[in-house]
Structure 1
Amino acid sequence: MTVKLTQQDIKRYNRNIWKVVIGGFVILILLFVSVGMGLFGALPTFRDLENPKSNQASEVIGDDGHTPLGSYYIQNRSPVTYKQLSPNLVNALVATEDSRFYNHSGVDFSRMFTIVLYNLVGKKQGGSTITQQLALNLFHERAHNKLKRFVQKMQEWITAVKLERHYTKDEIITMYFNTVDFGAYNTYGIKSAAQTYFSTTPDKLTPDQAAVLVAMVNGPGLYSPIRHPDNALHRRNFVLARMATEGFLTEGQVQEYQAKPLGLKFHRIDHNEGIAPYFRASIKKDIQKILADGGFTKSDGTPYDLDRDGLKIYTTINPQMQQYAEEAQAKYMRDLQGQFNGQWKGVNLYKSIPTFKSLLDRGMKLSDRYKSLKLQNMSDDEIQENFNTPDTLELFTWKGKIDTVMKPIDSIVYNKLLLRNAMMSMDPTTGYIKAWVGGINFEHFKYDQVVQGARQVGSTAKPFTYAVAIEQAGYSPCMQINNVPDTIYYDGTAWCPRSSPSETVPGMITLRTALARSQNWVTAHVMKDVTPIPVMQLIKKAGITTNVPPYPSICLGTFDASIFDMTGAYGIFANQGIWTQPTYLLRIEDKNGNILYTHHTGVKQVLNPQTAYVMTYMLKGVIQEGTGTRLTWKYGLTNPIGGKTGTTNDNSDGWFIGITPQLVTGVWTGCEDRDIHFRSTRMGEGANSALPIFALYMQKVYANPALGIKKNVDFVKPENVDIVTDCSVYNQQQQTSPAAPDKKLGF
């Protein structure tokens, strides 16, 4: 049966259709208004748009003001500027995600209707512009509920329009690349992605590399070149084809790039990456304390978070010199460990080291494994059994970390017999620390020997006793003393040091020779003259922060000190008697370049310039005729260098501190526990265990003229030096008018 519609019916249907259309449109407008008013959730404010929130890594920067040493982060994200983006990246993104990016104002309505038609015929397509995707990245987590997602979509449209009003297209592109999540491996932002997947920077990405990364933006898991290389290759080729369609590449270029493999140079980044890891870990604690104590807050009143707020930390570390220091350590310590292992091969450790069992027990209880087992409520017997049951373990070796099967208790033995090493190098005039190597491998051994470790300093303390004698009594380096035992009575106690017969220089010797050959008896004789308190006072004024008791034995270095303090203390000799506070932090800036903190270096005159100069002459004697001569004959360093070796009881610690007019560098080597050490002084002395690392480091430093560390520069000689250093002149003076030095000294 056919129903014939009257004209009136048609008009009524048309009115209803228009009512539905208009009603729907009104509802849509009301929804937009409601969303805009924040009834479905707050929209970003103007301040939010000016300061979009995203976790940004804080960067530690070297002394050149731009080379990153490493980062602190929750999300490994470091922002870049538009100029740091390769045009290939921009072209790939626009071609693939939003070809009309430069022609719309945040929402591309013409594209939206096209996408609706595609979806109606079953071809699923995304309609979000780059600006809308940025809005989602900045301010939302993608909702899975369809109704919530619809409301969220409107929020994105409004936010996208606001973004377009407040930012240029280049700024939007840059913000987009800085906020994108590139999948696993803690890779956020294009800078991190370029480094992780291609070991390069965003400005150097080739078209095919850019295509791989742009392919990941909408499916970092699905198009991961590590987990799904076939998907990544297919998607990359699609991006390249789109670049040709939009005129960014020719067809010939596309075919060439599509024929190439993915070409990954995958390099997983974590907190252990980058140079100077010990330094970065140490300075992090200082920065957090500075920010907390200084009450620094962001514009919203909340405190700064070093792991999230994209701070810039400018330091004094020279990236090239730091690299040289780490390379010198790695090269020599590999050989030295071999020497050490050779001395202990086949030796029963329990018989040769009486405290070995207790050392192992303490090492076990300090281990992460022990703490974990304790948390599982295991008994001591169960833990002991666990440590004696073979397991797959990761060990550090100088040939790289290895996985092996062994008893956990044996791994503790292995680590106890590993030599440790630390090194610091600084400019004595500014106090700026140029290199900081806190240990042999930060991933496996977090303890920073530069600042955390205070070890007995041995003969590196001797120069302070001689300096007091020169300063207070005018002793000359040419003054001769009979090298025989000399007992010192102090506070009712008698003290006389030992001296190895094979290393004792017999007869009358000069003070310069005594220091150069590290003679204990002559040093004790000088201490007897000057008394302990003035020496202790000089050591403390030179920046030693640990306890230095005023006993005669401090002249031989029986007190403990850190590499940090000792290197800074030797700066007084190289810097005309001025102690300049060792400095490593210059300033802290927020992500917008506003300065939050600036460091000011402490300076004080500790010795007069004449004494400091004479001491440089004394310390050069160590290299020219004493325990540091291998610096010349083996390593070819014949320029003005002073220094002092140090070896402690039983060869537990080996030291060398070298000075030049432009650098002071301290090196220490020893085992974790002092009871484990070299079995012979020939190998354990500072000349063998520490000096070579200084030598290898300085060879590289001198070979790089760009660093400005010159070989032909000598220590500054002040005017009116009346301390005689020419021994022929001194001897003539003594023959004509001998004078006994004043024994009543004060400091």
Structure 2
Amino acid sequence: MSKTSTSEKKKGFKKYILGFWILFFAGILSVFFIFLLAGWGALGPMPTFEELENPETNLATEVISVDGETLGKYFKENRTPINFEDLPDHLVNALVATEDERFYSHSGIDARGTLRAAIFLGQRGGASTITQQLSKLLFTDPNKSGTFNRIIQKVKEWVIAVRLEEQYAKNEIIAMYLNKMDFLYNAIGIRSASRIYFGKEPSELNIEESATLVAMLKNPSLYNPVKEQFKDNSRQRRNQVFVQMEKNGFITPQVKDSLQELPLVTNFSPEEHDDGIATYFRAYVQEFMKDWIEDNPKPDGSSYSMYRDGLKIYTTVDFKMQTYAETAVERHLQNLQKEFNRQNEDNRTSPFRDIEASEIESILQRGMKNSDRYKRMKQRGIDEDSIRASFNRKREMRLFSWEGPIDTLMTPRDSIRYYKSFLNTGMMSMTPQTGEIKAWVGGVNFKFFKYEHVKQAKRQVGSTFKPFVYATAIDQLHLSPCDEYPNTPYTIPRGRHGVTEDWTPANSGDDYGGNKTLKQALAESINTITARVINKTGPESVINLIDKLGIDTSKIDPVAAIALGTPDISVYEMVSAYSTFANKGVYVKPYAVQRIEDKNGTILYQHQPESRDVLSAESAYVTIKLLEGVTQFGSGRRLRLNSEYAKNTEAYKRAVTGYPYAFDNPIAGKTGTTQNQSDGWFIGMVPNLATGVWVGGEDRSVHFPTIAYGQGATLALPIWGMYMKDVYADESLNVSKEEFEEPDNLSIQINCDEISEEDLEGAEEKTLEFEIDF
């Protein structure tokens, strides 16, 4: 071979070598240039330094009880972030072992894992680090399709991952990643996931629960532990997490083996807006927040969002007391509804009574127009005839029942009538001295009955209004509970106190005769003596008093008949007004929100108490002593069914089986029953807690046929009794059993000798006569 040929071959070989290195370095420079372009934002928007420092994310607003429990959330995404310190070690270990073994040694990109993925084309696992996954969740769009777009997305993830590593500590990245993940069923973030899937806070998770959640990170649907068809997948993937933990030295082989044998156990507790505890209260707080947000913009002028800004709303509601209140409502109304349904079996116009067919039709038409179905169809421009016709076509429905939801076929019109048949309730409990609302039950089931009966609804209050009349007389005229009046028919003539014609109120059961003290008169709800008292004070003075007690008087006319409880008043107003008597005559406005904080803990709102002097301490205390008489020998006597006389009666034995109250501490309270038994009330107080309960149908024509079941002592008082039994059993609540504090220099006589043994027995017998045997 000639020297020329050899030389040419060497030159050709050098060209190939040179070409290879040129291509190699060009490739490196190209990759470098691509990353540089991505960093400059040439391949699409990239997060700024400020965005990296404060990643935008939708954070749920949390409603928190006074004892630190989460009552509920408002959210577009149900995410409540937590700090790394709140994560158990085994959760972090499971995450690192499964998702990113070299997390603590790389700077955002795992070069070794990337090379392995490239060589084996992903067959031996991917190369995406936890930081890359976080960058994808925070700042890139995973919905773009096409190979080129996916490559660009991956490049951007790498760049953002490196920047995140420069900006945050490793532990912060782990917390951010777990706070951002979507675990399905509104479980966005690790805190929501642990609460929804296991009913506990992340710090309370055990190792197998942590492994189950980490297993879901690969595919929350395919490895979901509550989806029946994927439970096996979930358990297998959870066990693989244990393998990874053992491989990385976090657990021993023996522990791994024992953990893999454990069954897959969850405690699924969905967090929907309509589910959980204190649903009506949360709806009230939501309205409070809407008003507050409107009046309180951010420093930059924009508005806070209940659904994205991660606010924390600290409320006055006590989680335990709220639970006891809801339990009492459910226990009593579930039984009461059975009896109500039984008594309606032969009622031709069920559930309505005492009204004509035309009135029933008006009620149904009104219900139709108030329905969401009607409003939606109206907004879509559908004509009236078509809308009405749609209410007469059967369709699949899920209906409320005390035994659980019912799936059935029914016309919307029939469903309106069906829901009218349920008795409902409003209940509120507050601390008289501070105005703190401790429990709020606005109805029987928020998902099916949206109308709220604590503050939104106003109903006739019946005899629960009478203490306002007596308090006015005590404050203005210094009347004593021991003052006597004849229990005889009494007439206020036409033209006096707004009376348009002579007004002679009748006593219940035409019960007349003898003299009665004011204490007896209030305890036995004697109408004639109440009429005598308002004739002395005048209705204007009574209205002036209740206005100071926080009751809206704009629709209450100054007529004598208000003495018997004709005004419509809310449970909220009644409880706050009664609380003034227990607070020595000082009215304190009820409140539910203590403070509002932003996601960083900065206080945005702090409650400022509102109070005013309404009655003298003496007048308030004397009114309390009158109200104590109601529970001593009046319609509230069944709260104390513990005397030897009562124990010898069959009625007592039946009552104790259902409601074993037997309270022996001072209780000031009043029952109330309205015309035709449409509304039943009981408001009861101990020195540091006032609670009011209303029970009735949505329409006044829905009621029991007789007073036996329709009186306040049967409809409402049992809820108060069951609630207070649970409250007193929980000593951590510190609810008082003491006497109401007597003011100094009491000048009005309060100790009367008029309560004889015969009176007690007679009142007790009358009370027990109407006791329900469920």
In structure 2, the CA distance between the partners of 1:575 and 1:131, relative to structure 1 (3 Å rule), is: same
Q: 1:598 aligns with which of 599, 606, 619?
A: 606
The corresponding residue for 2:638 is 630
The corresponding residue for 1:6 is 9
Stretches of structure 1 lacking an aligned partner (at least 5 in a row):
731-747
Q: 2:295 aligns with which of 290, 293, 296?
A: 293
The corresponding residue for 1:741 is none
The corresponding residue for 1:734 is none
Structure 1 residue 186: Cα displacement: 2.3
Q: How many residues align?
A: 722
* Residue pairs, 1:146-295, within 5 angstroms: 146-183=147-184, 185-225=185-225, 226=227, 227-295=229-297
The corresponding residue for 1:615 is 623
The corresponding residue for 1:134 is 134
Structure 1 residue 295: Cα displacement: 1.9
Whole-Å separation in 1 of the counterparts to 2:105 and 2:572 = 59
Question: Secondary structure, in 3 states, of the residue corresponding to 1:309?
Answer: coil
Structure 1 residue 381: Cα displacement: 5.8
Structure 1 residue 404: Cα displacement: 2.8
Whole-Å separation in 1 of the counterparts to 2:376 and 2:286 = 26
Q: Given that residues 353 and 703 in structure 2 are in contact (C-alpha distance below 8 angstroms), is that contact kept between their aligned partners in structure 1?
A: no
1:573 and 2:573 aligned: no
Whole-Å separation in 2 of the counterparts to 1:719 and 1:301 = 54
Whole-Å separation in 2 of the counterparts to 1:492 and 1:88 = 77
Whole-Å separation in 2 of the counterparts to 1:93 and 1:344 = 60
1:92 and 2:94 aligned: yes
Question: Secondary structure, in 3 states, of the residue corresponding to 2:742?
Answer: coil
Question: Secondary structure, in 3 states, of the residue corresponding to 1:102?
Answer: coil
Q: 2:730 aligns with which of 704, 708, 712?
A: 704
Structure 1 residue 641: Cα displacement: 0.6
The corresponding residue for 2:442 is 438
Whole-Å separation in 2 of the counterparts to 1:83 and 1:224 = 26
The corresponding residue for 2:764 is none
Q: Given that residues 487 and 494 in structure 1 are in contact (C-alpha distance below 8 angstroms), is that contact kept between their aligned partners in structure 2?
A: no
The corresponding residue for 2:766 is none
Structure 1 residue 16: Cα displacement: 1.3
Q: Which amino acid aligns with 1:105?
A: S
Whole-Å separation in 2 of the counterparts to 1:124 and 1:132 = 18
Structure 1 residue 8: Cα displacement: 1.8
The corresponding residue for 1:557 is 565
Question: Secondary structure, in 3 states, of the residue corresponding to 2:120?
Answer: helix
Q: 1:695 aligns with which of 704, 712, 721?
A: 721
Whole-Å separation in 2 of the counterparts to 1:503 and 1:50 = 78
Q: Which amino acid aligns with 2:744?
A: E
Structure 1 residue 145: Cα displacement: 2.9
The corresponding residue for 1:347 is 347
Whole-Å separation in 2 of the counterparts to 1:403 and 1:116 = 54
* Residue pairs, 1:642-653, within 5 angstroms: 642-653=668-679
In structure 2, the CA distance between the partners of 1:643 and 1:89, relative to structure 1 (3 Å rule), is: same
Structure 1 residue 374: Cα displacement: 5.3
Q: Given that residues 396 and 402 in structure 1 are in contact (C-alpha distance below 8 angstroms), is that contact kept between their aligned partners in structure 2?
A: yes
Q: 1:723 aligns with which of 725, 748, 757?
A: 748
1:540 and 2:547 aligned: yes
Question: Secondary structure, in 3 states, of the residue corresponding to 1:493?
Answer: coil
Range that drifts further, 331-340 or 440-449 = 331-340
Range that drifts further, 47-56 or 641-650 = 47-56
1:405 and 2:442 aligned: no
1:516 and 2:517 aligned: no
Q: Given that residues 543 and 553 in structure 2 are in contact (C-alpha distance below 8 angstroms), is that contact kept between their aligned partners in structure 1?
A: no
The corresponding residue for 1:70 is 72
Q: Given that residues 435 and 590 in structure 2 are in contact (C-alpha distance below 8 angstroms), is that contact kept between their aligned partners in structure 1?
A: yes
Deviation per CA, 1:24-44: give whole Å up to 9, x if none.
Answer: 222222222222222223322
Structure 1 residue 682: Cα displacement: 1.7
Q: Which amino acid aligns with 1:532?
A: P
Q: Given that residues 460 and 655 in structure 1 are in contact (C-alpha distance below 8 angstroms), is that contact kept between their aligned partners in structure 2?
A: yes
The corresponding residue for 1:46 is 49
Structure 1 residue 442: Cα displacement: 0.4
Whole-Å separation in 2 of the counterparts to 1:652 and 1:558 = 12
Question: Secondary structure, in 3 states, of the residue corresponding to 1:687?
Answer: helix
Q: 1:655 aligns with which of 671, 681, 698?
A: 681
Q: Given that residues 507 and 526 in structure 2 are in contact (C-alpha distance below 8 angstroms), is that contact kept between their aligned partners in structure 1?
A: no
* Residue pairs, 1:313-328, within 5 angstroms: 313-328=313-328
Q: Which amino acid aligns with 2:180?
A: T
Whole-Å separation in 1 of the counterparts to 2:242 and 2:327 = 41
Q: Which amino acid aligns with 2:342?
A: G
Question: Secondary structure, in 3 states, of the residue corresponding to 1:228?
Answer: helix
Range that drifts further, 473-482 or 187-196 = 187-196
Q: Given that residues 364 and 417 in structure 2 are in contact (C-alpha distance below 8 angstroms), is that contact kept between their aligned partners in structure 1?
A: yes
Q: Given that residues 75 and 188 in structure 1 are in contact (C-alpha distance below 8 angstroms), is that contact kept between their aligned partners in structure 2?
A: yes
Structure 1 residue 601: Cα displacement: 1.5
Q: Given that residues 107 and 129 in structure 1 are in contact (C-alpha distance below 8 angstroms), is that contact kept between their aligned partners in structure 2?
A: yes
Q: Given that residues 297 and 304 in structure 2 are in contact (C-alpha distance below 8 angstroms), is that contact kept between their aligned partners in structure 1?
A: no
Q: Given that residues 459 and 557 in structure 1 are in contact (C-alpha distance below 8 angstroms), is that contact kept between their aligned partners in structure 2?
A: yes
Whole-Å separation in 2 of the counterparts to 1:35 and 1:312 = 38
Whole-Å separation in 1 of the counterparts to 2:617 and 2:428 = 24
Deviation per CA, 1:515-543: give whole Å up to 9, x if none.
Answer: 11111110110100011111100011000
Whole-Å separation in 2 of the counterparts to 1:626 and 1:695 = 15
Structure 1 residue 382: Cα displacement: 5.5
Q: Given that residues 60 and 74 in structure 2 are in contact (C-alpha distance below 8 angstroms), is that contact kept between their aligned partners in structure 1?
A: yes
The corresponding residue for 1:743 is none
Deviation per CA, 1:41-70: give whole Å up to 9, x if none.
Answer: 332223222221111111000002x21000
Q: Given that residues 644 and 657 in structure 1 are in contact (C-alpha distance below 8 angstroms), is that contact kept between their aligned partners in structure 2?
A: yes
Whole-Å separation in 2 of the counterparts to 1:385 and 1:43 = 55
Structure 1 residue 491: Cα displacement: 4.5
Deviation per CA, 1:607-649: give whole Å up to 9, x if none.
Answer: 0000001111000000001111011115211201100111111
Q: CA RMSD in A?
A: 2.2
Stretches of structure 2 lacking an aligned partner (at least 5 in a row):
642-655, 756-774
Q: Given that residues 488 and 512 in structure 2 are in contact (C-alpha distance below 8 angstroms), is that contact kept between their aligned partners in structure 1?
A: no
Whole-Å separation in 2 of the counterparts to 1:676 and 1:492 = 29
Structure 1 residue 112: Cα displacement: 1.8
Q: Given that residues 495 and 552 in structure 1 are in contact (C-alpha distance below 8 angstroms), is that contact kept between their aligned partners in structure 2?
A: no
Whole-Å separation in 2 of the counterparts to 1:546 and 1:427 = 24
Question: Secondary structure, in 3 states, of the residue corresponding to 1:727?
Answer: coil
Whole-Å separation in 1 of the counterparts to 2:105 and 2:353 = 82
The corresponding residue for 1:739 is none
In structure 2, the CA distance between the partners of 1:495 and 1:263, relative to structure 1 (3 Å rule), is: same
In structure 2, the CA distance between the partners of 1:152 and 1:659, relative to structure 1 (3 Å rule), is: same
Whole-Å separation in 2 of the counterparts to 1:264 and 1:703 = 31
Q: Given that residues 471 and 611 in structure 1 are in contact (C-alpha distance below 8 angstroms), is that contact kept between their aligned partners in structure 2?
A: yes
The corresponding residue for 1:469 is 473
Q: Which amino acid aligns with 1:528?
A: N
In structure 2, the CA distance between the partners of 1:645 and 1:637, relative to structure 1 (3 Å rule), is: same
Q: Which amino acid aligns with 1:538?
A: L
Range that drifts further, 596-605 or 104-113 = 104-113
Q: TM-score normalized by structure 1?
A: 0.93
The corresponding residue for 2:538 is 531
Q: Which amino acid aligns with 1:138?
A: L
Structure 1 residue 386: Cα displacement: 4.5
Q: 1:679 aligns with which of 698, 705, 721?
A: 705
1:308 and 2:311 aligned: no
Q: Which amino acid aligns with 1:397?
A: S
Q: Which amino acid aligns with 1:717?
A: E
Whole-Å separation in 2 of the counterparts to 1:503 and 1:136 = 79
